[in-house]
Structure 1
Amino acid sequence: MTNHYYQTNPESPHDISTWPFELLDQKFRFTTDSGVFSKGTVDYGSRVLIQTFSWQNLPEGKILEVGCGYGPIGLAIAYASGRQIEMTDVNERAVQLAKQNARQNQIDNVDIHFSDIYSTVHEKNYATILSNPPIRAGKRVVHQIIEEGYQYLQKTGTLTIVIQKKQGAPSAQKKMTEVFGNAAIVKKR
């Protein structure tokens, strides 16, 4: 059977490892496993999102991360900002790792749980939604994160995603403009 990080229950044999990584001037320890995205390091796209995301001017309210994987984006931002962050993923193995990583990094201002995109999120008025979307799951999934995100945001809320140009950034930007009326490139690398 082929296993993908965007499947609910990857069946690949476990290959657990724990390693240190610095994000936002804080040293974290991440435990990862086979069957999750970027198991050997915090991927470049996630690092760019973490480094460029600004929570200081957001409206009051929770932050939602869709597709949290083992947790580097949500945990780094929860630690640095002190804001409450709901972190979701469709991959049960990733959800368990994110919970474990929250505990081992002593981050408790997070709510981590399974959700197929927005199917079981706990709010309807997030200050912002963040995502390093599962590109390999296909354009339909990426566009669903964008399209459905609108109804889960406050009126002044934002949606921030990271996508490489060659992996669909132009079409995602076009979709964001269609849905939200505007879209801006915050950082290009």
Structure 2
Amino acid sequence: MEEQYFTQAPTSEHHYQEVSLDLNDVHLTFKTDNGVFSKNRIDYGSLALLKAITKSADFVSGILLDLGTGYGPMGLYLAKTFPDHLVHMVDVNERSLQLAKENAKTNQIDNIKIYESSCYDNVEEKFAGIATNPPIRAGKTIVSTMLKDAFDHLVPGGQLWAVLQKKQGAPSAKKLMQATFGNVKVVAKDKGYYILQSVKEA
């Protein structure tokens, strides 16, 4: 069976590549490898989510969490765009985390904290914002946990931002976020991707 990107310790042979992200005058380069999510290019859903967050007039200030960071494109972009914010970047995949650390050095970004966590298992902080492009292939239970348990890891007024494709569960994610937070907004729709936002009301 083919190794998945949410494997904790990938054993596939290394095949390093470089991909880049250009958005809103921010240019970043990333080293990628076999056994990680979206190794050939920055995932379109991640880009759509970053576009929506950076366009938002009411985006939060405070500590942020990139939940399921992969090799780091979302977390490092947020850290570069919001240099006064500390960005926590977590993933279950050890190879992804090593790449994220290398990519932080390459792009000279240090307002970050990168560590291993399956969902929120090793996450102790409460955040002003949580952004996630959840690993759909890991199954509905994992995705639901990432969305539902965000509530307990946000400060009052904190925001959860998530991107999912309509055909891969966006409608059910929207219902779950509404049930958990009492509110949900479709901030944008972009080529079949839904950008969803919920706020933990004070």
**TM-based fold match above 0.5:** yes
Letter of the aligned partner of 1:118 in structure 2? Y
1:66 is matched with 67
Cα distance in 1 between the residues matched to 2:124 and 2:102: 21
1:114 is matched with 116
Of 127-136 and 46-55, the range deviating more from structure 2? 46-55
**TM-score by structure 2 length?**
0.89
For 1:144-155, list aligned pairs within 5 A.
144-155=145-156
1:43 aligns with 2:43: yes
1:53 is matched with 53
Deviations 1:57-101 (A, max 9, x none): 344420011100001111111101111100000000000101110
Instruction: Give structure 1 regions of 4+ aligned residues with deviation exceeding 6 angstroms.
Output: none
Give yes or no for contact 2:68–2:133 (8 Å, CA) kept in 1.
yes
Cα distance in 2 between the residues matched to 1:29 and 1:60: 25
Give yes or no for contact 1:10–1:93 (8 Å, CA) kept in 2.
yes
Q: Which runs of 5+ in 2 are unaligned?
A: 191-202
Give yes or no for contact 1:62–1:86 (8 Å, CA) kept in 2.
yes
**TM-score by structure 1 length?**
0.95
Letter of the aligned partner of 2:8 in structure 1? T
Letter of the aligned partner of 1:132 in structure 2? N
Q: Secondary structure at the match of 1:21?
A: strand
Cα distance in 1 between the residues matched to 2:144 and 2:26: 33
1:157 is matched with 158
Q: Secondary structure at the match of 1:158?
A: strand
2:11 is matched with 11
Letter of the aligned partner of 1:41 in structure 2? R
Of 5-14 and 52-61, the range deviating more from structure 2? 52-61
Query: How far did 1:2 drift?
Result: 2.7
Report the count of equivalent residues.
188
2:81 is matched with 80
Deviations 1:138-174 (A, max 9, x none): 1111100011110000111010000000000000000
- Alignment root-mean-square deviation, CA: 1.3
Q: Which runs of 5+ in 1 are unaligned?
A: none
Query: How far did 1:29 drift?
Result: 1.1
1:133 is matched with 134
